[in-house]
A = this chain, B = another copy of it.
């Protein structure tokens, strides 16, 4: 039963479980940026008291998804364009590092899977399946970062990606942009397959940098 599974997890770490649930809630947009998180309501929703809820909220605060205002509670963080730009800059070098490290240690199987991902994404583009492309895109990036084997890197990177979802136009791409994006993916995988760390760093960093460019252009057409 799901009930028992819940009970088992519950006994290990209730705040940890809560953190995941609240995070999902935020990332799914069920509470908009700037929105207030009512402790009592959250506690009631999960049938527990406010103690564990506050602990979970503190964790989410540290990962930059929510902010605390003294005596007023926790609010979903609002990410300005300037802040999103800063996040992108950090993400750029982290992803570059992931590519570099992966070029040094990728197995043949890793490379085969990377090629498969990018191939599937080409197919999704051909079939005009936008949702599938977005989904595969996320999986590809996560795969690269996780397979790099550097947990610090992976954790930092994923935190930043989550933060970016708090920004208004966090992933509006269409037509040409998607096509160009997957061309960059090909270059990334080629560099890894060639076991060329320096080139892999460039290709991966460049990919995020151009993504930032697309985002900023969409946000502020004047700049």
Cβ-based interface call for A33 (8 A)? no
**Smallest CB-CB separation from A205: which chain B residue?**
B93
Could you list 24 examples of A-B contacts with CB < 8 Å?
A11-B70, A12-B70, A13-B70, A15-B58, A55-B55, A58-B59, A59-B59, A62-B62, A62-B63, A83-B151, A83-B152, A86-B150, A86-B152, A89-B97, A89-B150, A89-B152, A90-B97, A90-B150, A90-B153, A93-B93, A93-B94, A93-B96, A93-B97, A152-B160
Cα distance A150–B68 in the bound complex, in angstroms: 21
Q: In the assembly, what is the distance between CA of A153 and CA of B87, in Å?
A: 8
- Interface residue count for A (Cβ, 8 Å)? 33
Residues of A within 8 A of B (CB): 11-13, 15, 51, 54-56, 58-59, 61-64, 68, 70, 83, 86-87, 89-90, 92-94, 96-97, 101, 150-153, 156, 160
Q: Are B156 and A90 closer than 8 Å at their CB atoms? A: yes
Determine whether the beta carbon of B86 is less than 8 Å from that of A151: yes
Chain B neighbourhood of A87, CB < 8 A: 152
Contacting A59 at CB < 8 Å: which of B11, B62, B90, B94? B62
Taking the closest CB of chain B, its distance from the CB of A45, in whole angstroms, is 20
